[in-house]
Amino acid sequence: MIDEKQHQRIRAALALKGITLSAIARELDVKPTTITIVSKGYRRSRRIEQAIADALGCTPSQIWPNRYPNDGTSTMEVPAS
């Protein structure tokens, strides 16, 4: 599911921690557009979702509960900017 607002919340939460999607891309040795594609929901990548969650100090299911519906953890929205 494409979710531009969630993508913006992720970017804002990362910015509060001084992290950019480009920095995560460099760490994973992928193009920044690949990170954006996953963050917006066009494609899935557990590795990228985990890297974003790690940077935010949470789990992927807390950011994308619709992508991880049965993992048993509580959901948490990424803070709105």
Longest Cα–Cα distance of the chain, Å, equals: 32
Assign domain 4-63 to a CATH class: mainly alpha
The H or E element that residue 6 is part of is helix 4-16
**Residue 73: other Cβ atoms inside 10 A:** 12
Confirm if 12 and 6 have CB atoms less than 8 A apart: no
Taking only the tens of pLDDT, the chain with its 81 residues reads 788 999 999 999 999 999 999 999 999 999 999 999 999 989 999 999 999 999 999 999 999 888 887 755 544 455 554
What's the burial of 36, exposed, middle or buried (CB within 10 Å: 0-12/13-18/19+)?
A: middle
The domain segmentation of the chain, as residue ranges, is 4-63
Name the DSSP letter for residue 25.
Answer: H
pTM of the model: 0.81
